[in-house]
C-alpha cells in the first residue's frame, strides 16, 4: 500500500526553496549593481533610473539594452563603453525624464 502524502511537509519544503531562491536573486541583483558601477549612484538615483527604464515599452530600445547586457556578461564591456552607442542610454532616457521631472529640475538645480 502506498504511503499517504504529507502536503504540509511538501508545502513547507517549497516555501523554504522559494525563500532561498528569492535571497539568491536579491544577492545577484546586488552583485550586478556593483559590477556595473551603479553602486556609485544614490539609492534615489538608481531607483529613478530603474523606474524610467521599466516604463519604456519600445521593443527596439529593449532589444538594444538586451544586446548591451549580453555583451556585458560576455566580457565585451570595454568595447561597449567606448563604442558608437555609448551615449544611447542618456539620450533614450531624456523624453521620459521630461515627462516625470524631479522636484529639483523644476528650479533648474542640477
pLDDT at 12: 96
Same domain assignment for residues 48 and 91:
yes
Q: Is position 108 within any domain?
A: no
Q: Is position 110 within any domain?
A: no
Q: Is position 1 within any domain?
A: no
For 88, the domain range is 42-100
Best CA proximity match to 92, nearest among 58, 41, 47: 58
**For residue range 11-28, what is the model confidence (pLDDT) as tens digits?**
999 999 999 999 999 999
Higher pLDDT, 91 or 69: 69
Domains contained in the chain, number = 2
Instruction: Give how far Cα 110 sits from Cα of 16, 102, 105, Å.
Output: 46, 10, 7
Q: Is position 107 within any domain?
A: no
**For residue range 45-62, what is the model confidence (pLDDT) as tens digits?**
999 999 999 999 999 999
Hey, what's the cell of 77? 564591456
- 8 A C-beta contact, residue 86 and residue 80: yes
- Sign of the Cα pseudo-torsion (74, 62, 95, 50, in order): negative
Higher pLDDT, 71 or 96: 71
- 8 A C-beta contact, residue 102 and residue 48: yes
Same domain assignment for residues 56 and 31:
no
Amino acid at each position: 500500500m502506498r504511503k499517504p502524502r504529507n502536503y504540509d511537509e511538501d508545502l513547507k519544503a517549497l516555501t523554504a526553496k522559494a525563500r532561498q531562491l528569492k535571497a539568491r536573486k536579491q544577492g545577484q541583483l546586488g552583485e550586478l549593481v556593483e559590477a556595473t558601477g551603479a553602486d556609485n549612484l544614490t539609492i534615489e538615483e538608481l531607483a529613478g533610473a530603474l523606474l524610467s527604464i521599466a516604463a519604456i515599452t519600445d521593443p527596439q530600445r529593449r532589444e538594444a539594452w538586451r544586446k548591451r547586457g549580453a555583451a556585458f556578461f560576455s566580457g565585451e564591456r570595454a568595447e561597449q563603453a567606448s563604442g558608437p552607442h555609448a551615449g544611447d542610454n542618456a539620450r533614450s532616457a531624456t523624453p521620459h525624464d521630461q515627462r516625470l521631472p524631479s522636484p529639483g529640475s523644476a528650479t533648474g538645480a542640477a
